[in-house]
Structure 1
């Protein structure tokens, strides 16, 4: 239905009505411009800005309908001629944008110029968006000039974009292939074209010229008036006359710096200065005697900081305003030579006479140089990390290549193979752990402690080595002041704390009492008395048990003969461990009476793989029997010696608990 008819009236000829409220009858724009070319587009709204409904024809369908004509009435349709198209190479043929620019490059290996300014011309071809950079030739420049960048589309970034004429303007810098060009101006055609495209141009800048090129075009003629001073007369008068000054250079503010001594020589013949270093024996420095070679030293330069290069091979008279002379050196005053400040504290006798005759100076009191003592920083020992022995780990804090801690060799030789053994019980809230018994061995040669747990059959505990040989610190000791357990700390009933585990000393070897009695001056009386009381009470209990159960045996000679035969038999059984056998019997004897039941004795021998069926051992068991089903295992254990006797010649006592 048309918009000009009512919503309820049919659209029939003669029934068209106008909307009196409608005042706008214009059509929407259907033409536009894109990249400089006109193109058609669908209308966005209807006539007069009315709303368009969704079911509209596309632009392609509209173009097809516009070219169709009624075939029945007018014959085959005629298509409209295509619109004219002008390509870019025709529209922008011979239209080139021209920009004046320059770039700057460093000149590192030249004493006359630090940088160079080179002027270029940038051409932009509108027909294919290509660019071309050329440097006008400068006569006698000595540089390869001409084409810098051939004509092509210059990449703008790493994303694949290229430079466009919209990216060019006056007063900006562009980078092409790592070189930055500064655009300062453009020609008239370029200005008109960019302004016609809506680009606001920056004001033009002044072209910068190369300072070295300008210097060559207009050379400066300088004339130096010859001096009336006769240098030959100075050489003949002061030849081999040298002023000597003693100075120091305080370099303590720098890292690893110190106060070093020097000798300054001033040669009167040509006004040159030489600085030599004074070396001391075993100072650790390489013997390079000359610090500053003999040369004329500048005192003040001419103010040419802008044009004078920062690095030159030689300094001429044109750059120096004043040189060092003999009047610039004085005792008690500092002098700066090539950036180092030397303090002159004394001079020799010839120098004193020269200044006295030449300048009338008579005060040559030497200045006393006091060496500043080196500040000793306190050495901070890091906390002990628990790895290794404390003394061994501490050596890493004293030297880069740590040395092993010194050992008491005399003590090690005197107490070699001397071991004090104790029986200890574990103090634990667990009842099963309180029944466990351990053998604590104290090695007198190096004050180390080892703990061994004899294996008990069917106890559920493996047994064996509990603590390897190590030094055990007392509770409350610190790594700085560590105190270790000594033999005087092991008394009967005392508690020993070993790395968080507490043990109670319940028994000791008889060798412990014998050793402490022979060295009574080295042990406290309380320790010695506790061992004496313990062994006295045990001896009384043993005598009481022996009196109650009479022993049925033969003479000592027969017992000794059987022991020798048993030892010969046991040599065939090399798998037996005499130490484990003795410790197992001692562990089985709870009350320490030295008497075991025969079934218990035979079961223990069977568990330890002792060949009781051998004839010598069977006879030895019968000889050690006392009473009914009782065996004195102390005599039986004599066939299982622990080792060779000590060096003193005294036989090693048997282990009896």
Structure 2
């Protein structure tokens, strides 16, 4: 090892040299640990292990020099150095506050005790503000005791604050992890410490005693005075004697509740009560005979704790102050048994005689509890809104899922495929609507009406179905009780208003005439007379033409007008020569007339639209009686 050549030289400017052979530059530790806590310590060597100067100043002296201000020689006195810092673990080491407390614990499954008092000691450690709860061990207690809550800092609220010794005092409740401890007293050191810190202590309280522990200290045997009531005499005297009461239980105030009948039996031999159900046929209930078995019924119970399991444990004589007796069952008064209130409305003759001899009550009434059913509420339909038929709309008010209204099946079977047809024109101020023809079909099975308009070529109006099957309401009928059109409303000259459009009936088919003969009671006298006149007019024979001009023009001006209308309607239908030749084959006598059968056969072969209202009217004018038809004028309607 090479020695330092400059060792021993004075530390003067120009004489200080760096030791090039030095390799250690570490600094000494200034912190240490004692009992797990960091403490400051003064280094003994310098950097790299060099010797420290003898006159090195302490940290306190360095702080004083750093903060010292220059003053005069005879100025302010030198202040005293600050006190040395002492940590809390050193100042409050082994200093503990002790409090005496207790908490109450419920005992739900015991017949001898309902709750117990458990005494504990609460310790508060000042050095780190931690707490612990210790329960003194009691020999043969059967309860795990000792450390109840281990030493830790205990939260005071949900924010994160912890309990401090300033929060502790005598006569307060302290809640730790859901347990409420009642602090009653503290030791002498705790009292002196809190008073020295300016806390005013509450007066001490007495420690609560455990009732079961105090009960164990009493003598085991107790003398009970025997009762002077002879139960054997009661059994022999009232054997087989039973009071019978008729009662009802009205539970209609609750949901799905009802009023039910019961029979209450009171056995005089042992003062027991039995409640039997009264079943009716087809009441939908299981045939259980008893609502409550025969047993003694408590009337007044001892006020027990809320946790007393009455539904599990049997009630003994110690829990009952008064039992039900015969004087508690009076006709006309309610009686509450096991939470149900029964109203007694009658009893049997033996019970009436017993109350008369025993209690002097001779006027036990018989109360009528039968309830009269309220009158049925009349169902009122809402106002009709005008959409659809009122019968269909009313079904939405009768059921949640509406059904189709009921139909008259007998009427539908009797009038199946029976249809009354009428020829009508539209009453309209529009000139184009005056020549339009419509066929009304009235269905007797459903009382519905359909309207069909025969298509006319080059008329500018699309023919076809004008109105589907539906019931048509008369314009003067009320909205809630509509009156629909019937067969009696259709006659010659009748005005039918269908949804704002007015139609005039001009003609009827042959089936309407047959229906009129069998159902004349459905038509008014005016309707009957109009149809009869129309039928007579159609059945009247046409006069024989005196000459050729009369032969060719049997209808006069009416025929000419009708021929012009047919020519305008069927101007593209030109088959005069062919039809004339066909008629002349059948008219061998050249009289100008053919039979009706031959006439319609020829029209069918040439596709003549005989169903058209104008064609029908032309055939009617050209008819000569019921057997002959003048085909001369008929053929003229198809010429150009």
What TM-score does the superposition give when structure 1 sets the normalisation length?
A: 0.59
Per-residue displacement from partner, 1:236-268 (whole Å, max 9, x unpaired)? 5544x1324242225276346666544333334
Equivalent of 1:505, from 500, 503, 526?
Answer: 503
CA shift, 1:413, in A, is 1.1
In 1, Cα distance between the equivalents of 2:227 and 2:425?
107
Q: Work out whether 1:627 is the aligned partner of 2:626.
A: no
1:102-117 superposed matches below 5 A: 102-117=102-117
Contact 1:424 1:504 in 2 (8 A): no
CA shift, 1:195, in A, is 5.9
CA shift, 1:143, in A, is 3.0
1:404-483 superposed matches below 5 A: 405-420=405-420, 441-449=441-449, 469-471=469-471, 481-483=481-483
In 2, Cα distance between the equivalents of 1:210 and 1:582?
118
> Residues 434 and 353 (structure 1 numbering): CA distance in 2 closer, same or farther, change over 3 Å?
same
CA shift, 1:203, in A, is 5.9
Contact 1:453 1:464 in 2 (8 A): yes
Per-residue displacement from partner, 1:75-128 (whole Å, max 9, x unpaired)? xxxxxx999654444444334444444444444444454444444444343444
SS in 1 for 2:635: coil
Give the aligned partner of residue 243 of structure 1.
Answer: 242
1:95-174 superposed matches below 5 A: 95-158=95-158, 161-165=160-164, 168-170=167-169, 173=173
CA shift, 1:372, in A, is 3.2
Give the aligned partner of residue 290 of structure 2.
Answer: 290
Give the aligned partner of residue 26 of structure 2.
Answer: none
Contact 2:330 2:344 in 1 (8 A): no
Q: Unpaired runs of 5+ in structure 2?
A: 1-62, 71-80, 540-554, 568-575, 587-595, 620-630
In 1, Cα distance between the equivalents of 2:434 and 2:189?
109
In 1, Cα distance between the equivalents of 2:146 and 2:476?
89
SS in 2 for 1:318: helix
CA shift, 1:165, in A, is 0.9
In 2, Cα distance between the equivalents of 1:185 and 1:464?
108
In 1, Cα distance between the equivalents of 2:332 and 2:446?
64
CA shift, 1:352, in A, is 6.4
1:561-572 superposed matches below 5 A: none
In 2, Cα distance between the equivalents of 1:117 and 1:464?
100
1:128-527 superposed matches below 5 A: 128-158=128-158, 161-165=160-164, 168-170=167-169, 173=173, 175-190=175-190, 207-218=207-218, 222-236=222-236, 238-239=238-239, 241-249=240-248, 251=250, 254-255=253-254, 260-299=260-299, 301=300, 304=303, 309=308, 311=310, 313-326=313-326, 337-338=337-338, 339-343=340-344, 345-348=346-349, 359=358, 363=362, 367=366, 369=368, 371-376=370-375, 378-381=377-380, 383=382, 390-391=390-391, 394=394, 405-420=405-420, 441-449=441-449, 469-471=469-471, 481-488=481-488, 494=495, 496=497, 498=499, 502-507=500-505, 510-511=508-509, 513-514=512-513, 515-516=515-516, 518-526=518-526
In 1, Cα distance between the equivalents of 2:449 and 2:203?
94
In 1, Cα distance between the equivalents of 2:341 and 2:264?
13
What TM-score does the superposition give when structure 2 sets the normalisation length?
A: 0.60
Per-residue displacement from partner, 1:9-62 (whole Å, max 9, x unpaired)? xxxxxxxxxxxxxxxxxxxxxxxxxxxxxxxxxxxxxxxxxxxxxxxxxxxxxx
Per-residue displacement from partner, 1:477-518 (whole Å, max 9, x unpaired)? 7786454444445675646364xxx22124466248534565
In 1, Cα distance between the equivalents of 2:213 and 2:454?
101
Contact 2:424 2:507 in 1 (8 A): no
Contact 2:252 2:259 in 1 (8 A): no
In 2, Cα distance between the equivalents of 1:464 and 1:420?
18
SS in 2 for 1:496: strand
Contact 1:420 1:509 in 2 (8 A): no
> Residues 450 and 200 (structure 1 numbering): CA distance in 2 closer, same or farther, change over 3 Å?
farther
In 1, Cα distance between the equivalents of 2:154 and 2:431?
92
Contact 1:425 1:503 in 2 (8 A): no
In 1, Cα distance between the equivalents of 2:177 and 2:444?
83
SS in 1 for 2:636: coil
Contact 1:331 1:346 in 2 (8 A): yes
Per-residue displacement from partner, 1:624-651 (whole Å, max 9, x unpaired)? 98337649xxxxxxxxxxxxxxxxxxxx
Task: Give the CA RMSD over aligned residues.
Answer: 5.5
Q: Unpaired runs of 5+ in structure 1?
A: 1-62, 71-80, 568-580, 596-621, 632-657
In 2, Cα distance between the equivalents of 1:473 and 1:216?
97
Between 274-283 and 332-341, the greater mean CA deviation after superposition: 332-341
Contact 2:108 2:308 in 1 (8 A): no
In 2, Cα distance between the equivalents of 1:478 and 1:187?
99
Which has the higher Rg, Structure 1 or Structure 2?
2
Paired residue total: 509
CA shift, 1:129, in A, is 3.9
CA shift, 1:411, in A, is 0.9
In 1, Cα distance between the equivalents of 2:463 and 2:66?
109
In 2, Cα distance between the equivalents of 1:203 and 1:454?
114
